[in-house]
Structure 1
Amino acid sequence: MSWLILVVSGMFETVWASALSRMAEKFQWLDLLFFIGGSIVSLGGLMIAMKEIPVGTAYAAWAGTGAVVTVAWSIISGSESASLIKIVLVAVLIGCIVGLHLIDASH
């Protein structure tokens, strides 16, 4: 269950990162609320997951999950272009997250 919480909370990094990006362009209160809410869910989930997952593993998987989802969202929303090398590198990052989970599960 800790890994599910970790992955979901990592996905919420996209919420606060996107809101932060929008606020950098033009401040709006709704973006601030999304930033605060996304941060609370994201960091709260990380905290809960670290009760059972070692801090280094949890943080790496959480940050990697957030990066993967943020890149995917940026490509889907059109704010970032897709390229073969970007897709390959994101796939490698996903493989690393899966590897961390497999290593953690074996111990």
Structure 2
Amino acid sequence: MGWIALLVSGLFETVWAAALSASRGLTKPLPTIIFVAALVISMLGLGYALRTVPIGTGYAVWVGIGAVGTAVYGMVAMGDPASAGRITCLVLIVAGVVGLKVLH
């Protein structure tokens, strides 16, 4: 159950990062509310997951999901550059996170 909570909380990290950007410095009410709610859910899920998942692995997985998810969201929805080099770097992040899980 800890790993499922970790995956879900990592996805909510992507949500809060996107909402933070959309809030324009926490000045727009709806994105700010979404940011706060997703941040709380993400932290609660991470805290729950770290009961059973080692902290180093758990935090790396959480950050990896959030970083890759946010970068992909930026490329798909916000027009961020999607160069081969950037995509390669995202693949390397995923490979590192999978490696931490496999070698756990």
TM-score normalised by structure 2 residue count: 0.92
Contact 2:14 2:65 in 1 (8 A): no
Counterpart Cα distance in 2 of 1:79 and 1:33: 24
* Structure 1 runs of 4+ with >3 Å offset: none
Which residue identity lines up with residue 74 of structure 1 in the other structure?
G
- CA–CA distance in structure 1, aligned partners of residues 26 and 59 of structure 2: 30
For structure 2, the 5+ residue unaligned runs are: none
Which residue of structure 1 aligns with residue 57 of structure 2? Answer: 57
Partner of 1:43: 43
Query: Could you tell me how far apart the structure 2 residues matched to 1:79 and 1:17 are?
Result: 16
Equivalent residue pairs, number: 104
Percent identity over the alignment is 37
RMSD over aligned Cα, in angstroms? Answer: 1.4
**Where do 5+ consecutive residues of structure 1 fail to align?**
none
Secondary structure of the equivalent of 2:72? helix
Matches within 5 A, 1:1-107: 1-24=1-24, 27-104=27-104
Counterparts of 1:6 and 1:46 in 2: how far apart (Å)? 6
Partner Cα separation in structure 2 for residue 25 and residue 43 of structure 1: 21
- Kindly provide the amino acid, as one letter, of the partner of residue 102 in structure 1: V
